[in-house]
Structure 1
Amino acid sequence: MIKINRLYSEPQIFEPISFEYGINIIMGEEAESTNKKIGVGKSICIEFINFCLLKRISDSRLNLIPKKYSDITESQIKLDLDFNDKKITISRSIKNQEEITIFVNGEEKIFDRLDDASDYLGSLYFELFPANLKRLSFRNLLQPIIRDERSEFKDLIQSHDTKKRIPSDFGPHLFYLSLGLEKYSEIKTLNDELQKRKVYFTEIKKLVTQNDELKIQDAKAHLNELESEVLKVNKSIEGLKNNESFELLQEDLVKLESKLAELRTRQQAIKYEIKQIDSLPKPENINENEISIIFNQFKQGLGDLVEKSLDDLKEFKNKIDGFRSSIVNDRLTALKKELTQLNEVVRKLDNDYSQKISLIDKGEVLRDLKTSIKIFNDKNSELSNLRSLIERYDTAERDKKLLEAEKTVLISDFDEELYQKSKIIKSFRETILEIHEKIMGNREAHFDIKTTKNKSVVEFVMRTDDDGSHSTERMKVFIYDISLMLNEYTKQYHPGFLIHDNIFEDDDSIEKSLNFLYGYNENSPNEFQYIVTLNSDLIELASQNGKLLFNVNNVKRASFTKENRFLGLKYNEMK
């Protein structure tokens, strides 16, 4: 059992708060200047307790305290506990939230990782339990018994801020009930694996069906057709290979194909060069009179430097033009001659190739050896890809079905365990009915545990009188949580304390609920610890009318107002 004794800080940033067995109220009260009771620090006080019990700072409202308040963020927050048979103090600061110091019977243990500290406290908690008992992490163990105000108290299993959308975890509840925790964990793990397999199966199915454009049966039919096509082509090629002269012919064909490819490349080069020559400009025909005028102009300007006559110039021009034409025409003639010869050689080689092919081609499937092999390779590649996809699809479907079958067996085993331990469920149901009768005035309630095939694995079914309304749902959670703490079976595994942050909304529910807990503690002292935050106006009327069985001041452990806040100051949480 764990009993919270004292919350304090060093250096002191808030007044120390001591807690006792039974009821412990953290009250929000009116100040002289205002009757408002919200925002005085009740919930932050609970957050500090939770922080010392190793709640992650990222999940805590303490993370929203502005960093400028260094006296708060650097102070060591401390919590004294009775932890089974040990005296423990847990010390931690907001600034260095991963550094945790734990004193066990005065012996100091320092941890620089939150998870290490959690593992240590978990080992201390479970050291009194059998070694083969399925265990939880320390924080997981505390999950159902410290309910956040922002959980809105509308779900038995969810105890966190509803905005965080944390998946429901039945693990700690099943642990307290000593029911099927191992089977639950196995099914949860299997569900995760099954989900991965389903995603993989869906992806493969999309590939096989071309994004659902085909049916699986159509894809498999296409596979059969591809196999037939590949077989036919392959048989034709094999038929060719069985011909006695095939190897020789094949060698000749390969040589011919290589030679033809080389010659055709040369053909294209010659054709390109001829095209380039044809595109060259023709020699320009200049009028003799124009030449005479230009020549005389140059001669007059240059004088005796020019000795040649106009006839000499004309003769020189004609030689140049003739030389150019001779070179171009000779090259063009040579190229055309070579092209003609190449065409003849290619034609003969083509004829030779066709004759050799005709010797082995029966005309049924193959028309060209090279083309046939290409068709075979393409079809065979398509066949291999499709066959691989369908094999992966079939394997994924089989694996998924095997996991689903395994899950069915585990759920069946879980059901059997629930049946074998039905006395625990009956006892817990009876505890709920007794508390329901004391608080609600009747036994019109019900509780049961059922397995389910969905992700949650299990379902806790609880009905109360007139349930469905906001306030009644809160009372349902209260009755369930108290039953989990006090039932003869569950209290053997339960830490023995429960914290509710602002669960009550009306004076009637407070009166009957707290009277029940007070009476239980009077008859069976030191069995539990209930810490609750509430506003004074919700309990004042019942106290004034004498309906409470106890004096509120005797169970009030702290009181905060707008003028006397928990941390002594007002601040806006960081967003």
Structure 2
Amino acid sequence: MKLRLQRLYSEPQFFEPIAFQSGINLILGEKSETAQTQAKKVNGVGKSMSVEFIHFALLRDFKDTRVSKIPTEKCPDDLTIILDLSIGKDSLQIRRSLQHPEQPTIIRNGQSVTFATLAEATRFLGDLLFVGEKSGFSSFRSLISLLMRDEESEFSDILRTMPVKKNAPPDRLPHLYLLGLDVVHYRGLLQTIKEIDRQTKLVSKIKSDLTRGNEINLKDIPAELNAEKTQVARIEAGLADLRAEPAFTEVEKDLNEIEAKLGALRATRKGVNFKIDQIRALPQPEAIDEVDLEIVFERARAGLGKLVQKSLEQARAFKEEIESFQRSLLNDELTILERQQRELNLKIRSLSQQHSEIVSRIDRKGTLRELSSGLKMAVHQQQNYHRRAALFQEYKDADQQKEDLQGERRQAIDHLRKELSENAAVEETMNNQVAAIHDRIMGNSDASFTLTVNTKTTVKQPLNLDLRILDDGSHSIDRTKVFIYDCALMFAECTQGRHPGFLLHDNIFDVDQDTLVQCLNYLQEQDDSGEDFQYILTLNREKIEVEERAKLIQLDVQDHCRASFTKANPFLGFRYQETRKASH
């Protein structure tokens, strides 16, 4: 579906409306006519900010737009940004306020809908833009990010669309969508690669636990587990024989009862000991100094006169009663607890003695001592064996799952290679389009576009989209390369059926003068040839003033100018300093 911007404005009016048309649209930064040095500057007049408002209207996350960094006091409380546009035959108006940026309103052919979330609104626009598409691609913002590359991407790479400072891998899906490749399959391949990465980390962690940080060879683990299994079986069999001893059978119930009582009494004693320690750790109650008491008493008697009948001695006596009461509370509690502690000690000592007597009476051959140590060893051996056995099984399962995922990856890679082979005409058409544009702009066809598959297992993005031109790698050449690629995507026969025919470049032409002139002339030639597209460009007028006067530019700059900003008349009508964080 074709996408066309028509008008950007606001309610109440916060900036001069900008009306767009089909074909080429220029947003210019120009020098002021005054003689002041500052007026001759053309940077910072608001060209990029106008683009930020378009991004905001097209539902970019509020925090990711410079609109969010305009100081709150500079904006009307009820400011709403409005963008009129069309998608296919649908007439749309997007209304988004700074107060509630997550709940935009979209009016479609006169029917208004206010969305509860930004995700719902972007999904709605995606459904309109990709209607009838069977590619599986539906990310409206992802495609818009490609069609409106962020200036801070520095136009350094054909795949990168977001600011360089965002350390995120470029999204290839919108490129694949425009090229007519299977987006769903490639998205699944990327998900498989992520799962392999997670599974590899899990396998590595389990292996480290099993081998105690690689102290043991993994190949030796099965033999060690077999040996431990045999030992556990022997211990369990021996314990069964010990439990069959007549002496143990006779007193097992009595010993169990005594041990249970001892456990309960020791737990109670532990609680009592804790309380005693707490009381002993408390600071002594604060005593009232005699001098302080006398000073307070004399002041009270001086102020109240005959109303104070008590003597200083009576006040002292009252003070001592209070302090004595505080001490007695703590002492009484401590006395009770210490008595409980003594009683518990006596009971524990008595039960321990009973336990020892029973053991000594029947343990002439060391049966109980062997049983006690045997039980501890058995529990330890059992726990260790079962833990390691379970961990080894978990390792085998995880490693098998990793192998299965790697198999899925190989199949997906084979599918991708087959798809590229079947769509070789797409690569050839794009390659020819790139070479033709390069020839028109640079005067030679020394340029190429290729689609290749990287089969290395460590690669996170197996599909490479590579555009090479003569002397690429420099700042200005890379920008020219991005311009050629974006135009090839818009004008190539293999992509026109899916491309919205819309493109915006914000300050892309930091290039030499001849390249700039030829790029503008190329765009004018596309317009003259009847190509159906909308191209929006922000540009400093001073870059082309000489070429305009020399009539080297075919494009009528003034006729295609949709907005013009100066230091004296910036986009927002005022100067300000951006806040570091979103201010709304």
Normalised by the length of structure 2, the TM-score is 0.77
Amino acid paired to 2:417: D
Give the structure 2 partner of residue 496 of structure 1: 501
Give the structure 2 partner of residue 511 of structure 1: 517
SS at match of 1:77: strand
Give the structure 1 partner of residue 162 of structure 2: 160
**From 520, 524, 529, the counterpart of 2:526:** 520
Give the structure 2 partner of residue 46 of structure 1: 51
The Cα offsets for residues 425-459 of structure 1, whole Å up to 9 and x where unpaired, read as 11111111111111111111111112334222321
The Cα offsets for residues 275-299 of structure 1, whole Å up to 9 and x where unpaired, read as xxxxxxxxxxxxxxxxxxxxxxxxx
Following superposition of structure 1 onto structure 2, how do residues 444-523 of structure 1 map, counting pairs within 5 Å?
A: 444-452=446-454, 453=457, 454-505=459-510, 506-523=512-529
Give the structure 2 partner of residue 11 of structure 1: 12
Aligned counterparts of 1:103 and 1:237: Cα–Cα separation in 2: 81
Aligned counterparts of 1:444 and 1:58: Cα–Cα separation in 2: 42
Give the structure 2 partner of residue 103 of structure 1: 107
**From 128, 131, 144, the counterpart of 1:124:** 128
Q: Does 1:562 align with 2:567?
A: yes
- For the aligned residue pairs, the C-alpha RMSD in angstroms reads 2.7
The answer to whether the Cα contact below 8 Å between 1:256 and 1:353 also exists between their aligned partners in 2 is no
CA positional deviation for 1:217? 3.0
Unaligned runs of 5+ in 1: 266-338, 358-365
Aligned counterparts of 1:443 and 1:179: Cα–Cα separation in 2: 26
Aligned counterparts of 1:450 and 1:61: Cα–Cα separation in 2: 37
The answer to whether the Cα contact below 8 Å between 1:177 and 1:424 also exists between their aligned partners in 2 is yes
Give the structure 2 partner of residue 254 of structure 1: 252
The answer to whether the Cα contact below 8 Å between 2:434 and 2:488 also exists between their aligned partners in 1 is yes
Give the structure 2 partner of residue 78 of structure 1: 82
Aligned counterparts of 2:407 and 2:259: Cα–Cα separation in 1: 62
CA positional deviation for 1:550? 2.2
Aligned counterparts of 1:494 and 1:258: Cα–Cα separation in 2: 82
Aligned counterparts of 1:497 and 1:70: Cα–Cα separation in 2: 30
Q: Does 1:424 align with 2:434?
A: no
The Cα offsets for residues 531-550 of structure 1, whole Å up to 9 and x where unpaired, read as 11111121112212221112
CA, structure 1 residues 233+539, in 2 after alignment: closer, same or farther (shift >3 Å)?
same
The Cα offsets for residues 350-398 of structure 1, whole Å up to 9 and x where unpaired, read as 47533595xxxxxxxx982332233222211110111111111111111
Q: Give identity over the alignment, percent.
A: 34
SS at match of 2:45: coil
Aligned counterparts of 1:236 and 1:126: Cα–Cα separation in 2: 74
**From 209, 212, 228, the counterpart of 1:210:** 212
The Cα offsets for residues 474-498 of structure 1, whole Å up to 9 and x where unpaired, read as 1111111111111112111111111
Give the structure 2 partner of residue 398 of structure 1: 400
SS at match of 1:90: strand
Q: Does 1:354 align with 2:352?
A: no
The answer to whether the Cα contact below 8 Å between 1:91 and 1:100 also exists between their aligned partners in 2 is yes
CA, structure 1 residues 404+346, in 2 after alignment: closer, same or farther (shift >3 Å)?
closer
Following superposition of structure 1 onto structure 2, how do residues 10-409 of structure 1 map, counting pairs within 5 Å?
A: 10-31=11-32, 32=34, 33=36, 34-71=39-76, 74-127=78-131, 129-130=132-133, 132-237=134-239, 246=244, 248=246, 250-252=248-250, 254=252, 350=360, 352-355=362-365, 357=367, 368-409=370-411
CA, structure 1 residues 349+408, in 2 after alignment: closer, same or farther (shift >3 Å)?
closer
CA positional deviation for 1:13? 1.6
SS at match of 1:40: coil
**From 542, 560, 579, the counterpart of 1:574:** 579
Aligned counterparts of 1:396 and 1:103: Cα–Cα separation in 2: 51
The answer to whether the Cα contact below 8 Å between 1:507 and 1:541 also exists between their aligned partners in 2 is no
CA positional deviation for 1:238? 5.5
SS at match of 1:74: coil
SS at match of 1:144: helix
The answer to whether the Cα contact below 8 Å between 1:102 and 1:110 also exists between their aligned partners in 2 is yes
Amino acid paired to 1:493: R
SS at match of 1:354: coil
SS at match of 1:147: coil
Aligned counterparts of 1:347 and 1:174: Cα–Cα separation in 2: 85
Aligned counterparts of 1:151 and 1:177: Cα–Cα separation in 2: 22
The answer to whether the Cα contact below 8 Å between 2:30 and 2:565 also exists between their aligned partners in 1 is yes
CA, structure 1 residues 87+250, in 2 after alignment: closer, same or farther (shift >3 Å)?
same
The Cα offsets for residues 324-370 of structure 1, whole Å up to 9 and x where unpaired, read as xxxxxxxxxxxxxxx9xx99x9799747533595xxxxxxxx98233
Aligned counterparts of 2:135 and 2:539: Cα–Cα separation in 1: 38
Amino acid paired to 2:10: S
The Cα offsets for residues 496-551 of structure 1, whole Å up to 9 and x where unpaired, read as 111111000132221111111110110124x1111111111211122122211122
SS at match of 1:514: helix
CA, structure 1 residues 432+350, in 2 after alignment: closer, same or farther (shift >3 Å)?
same
SS at match of 2:28: strand
The answer to whether the Cα contact below 8 Å between 1:440 and 1:465 also exists between their aligned partners in 2 is no
The answer to whether the Cα contact below 8 Å between 1:498 and 1:531 also exists between their aligned partners in 2 is yes
CA positional deviation for 1:76? 2.0
SS at match of 2:40: coil
Aligned counterparts of 1:260 and 1:143: Cα–Cα separation in 2: 76
The answer to whether the Cα contact below 8 Å between 2:179 and 2:495 also exists between their aligned partners in 1 is yes
Amino acid paired to 2:487: I
Aligned counterparts of 1:158 and 1:352: Cα–Cα separation in 2: 83
CA, structure 1 residues 248+9, in 2 after alignment: closer, same or farther (shift >3 Å)?
same
SS at match of 2:13: coil
CA positional deviation for 1:221? 4.3
Q: Does 1:439 align with 2:441?
A: yes
CA positional deviation for 1:567? 0.5
How many residues align structurally? Answer: 482
The Cα offsets for residues 48-104 of structure 1, whole Å up to 9 and x where unpaired, read as 111111111111011110001122x63222111121012212121222212322222
Q: Does 1:531 align with 2:541?
A: no
The answer to whether the Cα contact below 8 Å between 1:136 and 1:172 also exists between their aligned partners in 2 is no
The answer to whether the Cα contact below 8 Å between 2:9 and 2:82 also exists between their aligned partners in 1 is yes
Range with bigger deviation, 175-184 or 93-102: 93-102
CA positional deviation for 1:249? 5.1
SS at match of 1:462: strand
CA, structure 1 residues 356+122, in 2 after alignment: closer, same or farther (shift >3 Å)?
closer
The Cα offsets for residues 108-140 of structure 1, whole Å up to 9 and x where unpaired, read as 22223212211111111222x24x431222212
CA positional deviation for 1:215? 3.5
CA positional deviation for 1:194? 2.5
Unaligned runs of 5+ in 2: 264-349
The answer to whether the Cα contact below 8 Å between 1:256 and 1:349 also exists between their aligned partners in 2 is no
The answer to whether the Cα contact below 8 Å between 2:248 and 2:362 also exists between their aligned partners in 1 is no
CA positional deviation for 1:141? 2.2
Normalised by the length of structure 1, the TM-score is 0.78
Aligned counterparts of 1:536 and 1:260: Cα–Cα separation in 2: 98
The answer to whether the Cα contact below 8 Å between 1:23 and 1:530 also exists between their aligned partners in 2 is yes
The answer to whether the Cα contact below 8 Å between 2:520 and 2:555 also exists between their aligned partners in 1 is no
The answer to whether the Cα contact below 8 Å between 1:4 and 1:20 also exists between their aligned partners in 2 is yes
